[in-house]
Chain A
Amino acid sequence: MSLSGSDFELVRRVVYDTSGIVLDPGKEYLVESRLQPLCRHENVPSIPRLVQKLREPGAQPLVTRLVDAMTTNETSFFRDVEPFEALRRHVLPALIEARRATRQLNIWYAASSTGQEPYSVSMMLDAEFPQLRGWIVNQLATDISPTVLERARAGRYSQLEVNRGLPAKYLVHYFTKVGNDWRLKDNIRKMVRFEELNLIKAWPLLPAMDIVMLRNVMIYFDTEAKKRVLSGARRVLRPDGYLFLGGAETPMNLDDSFDRQPYPRAGCYTVKATTLA
């Protein structure tokens, strides 16, 4: 049975209140396609019955699983290439020079999904920045979805996933084939800590970050949520830190405290000196 107007409205409101994700009218097909597997998982016979359960007392665990089902987890290794080139050529060399006294780097991946982004950087750090051995490199990767975090921690990927964007030399060096899947070696998995974090709720106390990867998540938020998240990212960044946004994202008209860096298609920003003063 398909989704009625009032049921769509309820799902839309619950998802927005919980995650900030905006489901515009016309997205009924998307909601239906994501709710059908959830019905099977919950052993509920129909979508109307599932929505009814959302109205019942004690529905919070179901709400969590609903939001989990509605989040888009599109990602790939070295997605878009250019941000990683900017990291490799400009950002990391600059930070390594700036932090040579403290020998510590803090990197936050704010919507890490199944882990390809933090693991891409981890492989790059291991392969191309031997000078960081002996440094403390804290990499925190967060996401709203406990399901994708579990997959990320496991570091196990399908053939399709390792085919997408992962250099073959890294596949050979950092993965082991297990059945039809490919498992990331422990030395790389251990470089990243995965935690649950909802960007539109109050953030836990985070250490000052040298790099914040906030890519391809704000596109799902409305203007107010985008402003709040950008403002939070600015506060958590060190004065000379770097913010990365997705290819379709910009702080323009949302937060004027960022300067775009001249690395082509990298979506790389620093905090304006005037903002710091």
Chain B
Amino acid sequence: MNALIVDDSRAMRLLLRQMLVALGFEVAEARHGREALSHLQMRPDTQIALVDWNMPEMNGLELVEAVRADETLSGVRLMMVTTETEMAHVQRALEAGADEYVMKPFSKEIIADKLALLGLSGGDAHAA
């Protein structure tokens, strides 16, 4: 399974990459929403994008809206992974078309459980 990590923090991308690789995913990275959108348009077979909220150029919410406006990307699941923890943010993300929402800080189990809710278990369903 292919996953895309979208986060402007290199440390966060590395952390999520390690978790996703351990869960059996093939992982690509993008540093902001615009880069992520370009990647997804080249790789519409990406199953899941993990999306930070606050990023330069195009933020996470704008990315979610752009992906949902593009019919060729309808198979991409979107999971916000963000420090935004207010109810209003969760609501806005879901209304924009996000499938799931993880609040930082998180653990590998939290990511694995949320992916399982979406029916995504990477290459090894029991790696978590």
Contact = CB atoms under 8 A, between A and B. Distances in A.
**Do A and B originate from a single complex?**
yes
Interface of A: 76, 78, 81, 159-160, 163-165, 167-169, 171-172, 175-177
**Residues of B in contact with A, size category:** 20 to 34
A177 B87 CA distance: 7
A177 to B, nearest CB: 5
B19 to A, nearest CB: 14
Given A163-B103, A168-B100, 15 more contacts: A81-B117, A163-B102, A164-B110, A164-B113, A165-B114, A167-B100, A167-B117, A168-B90, A168-B94, A168-B101, A171-B87, A171-B101, A172-B87, A172-B91, A175-B87
B94 A165 contact: no
A165 B85 contact: no
A164 B86 contact: no
B53 to A, nearest CB: 13
B94 A76 contact: no
B116 interface: yes
Contact of B103 (A76, A159, A172): A159
A268 B100 CA distance: 27
A256 B11 CA distance: 52
Contact of B116 (A81, A159, A172): A81
A163 B101 CA distance: 8
Contacts of A165: 113-114, 117
B86 A78 contact: no
Interface in B79-119: 85-87, 90-91, 93-94, 98, 100-103, 105-106, 109-110, 113-114, 116-117
Contacts, number: 40
- The B interface, classified by DSSP as helix, strand, loop or mixed, is helix
Interface of B: 85-87, 90-91, 93-94, 98, 100-103, 105-106, 109-110, 113-114, 116-117
Contact of B113 (A81, A175, A177): A81
B109 A168 contact: no
A172 B98 CA distance: 13
Contacts of B90: 168, 171-172
A159 B101 CA distance: 12
Contact of B85 (A76, A159, A168): A159
A159 B116 CA distance: 19
B100 A164 contact: no
Contacts of B117: 78, 81, 165, 167
Nearest to A171: B90
Ranked 10 nearest A-B pairs via Cβ: A168-B101, A165-B113, A81-B116, A177-B87, A163-B110, A164-B110, A172-B91, A168-B100, A163-B103, A172-B90
Contacts of B85: 159
Given A164-B110, A165-B113, A177 B86 contact: yes
